[in-house]
Amino acid sequence: MQDTQGGQTSGSGNVDKKQYKEVADVWGKLPEKERERIRQELRQKMSAQDRAMLEAYIREMQNRPDKK
């Protein structure tokens, strides 16, 4: 098993907490089309390196067998 490695970027770290809380509070109630629009918007704000790490993580999670 590989260990997780920290990021190497030096972004400002500023997050619009209000926006993220609003999205988190209603995420499960949103239509899939709206959730995908929000995902795309968030990805566009990421650095290329962070976006690549996120996409690799998602691919890895999709390939894991369910642990029920």
pLDDT, one tens digit per residue, over 7-44 is 555 666 676 788 778 878 888 898 999 989 988 888 78
- Give the pLDDT of residue 1: 47
- Give the pLDDT of residue 46: 81
CA dihedral 39, 41, 44, 46 (to 10 degrees): -70
Taking residues 42-48, report their average pLDDT. Answer: 82
CB-CB contact of 53 with 7 (8 Å):
yes
Nearest residue to 50 via CA among 3, 4, 9: 9
- Is the pLDDT higher at 4 or at 60? 60
* CB < 8 Å & 24+ apart, contacts of 60-64: none
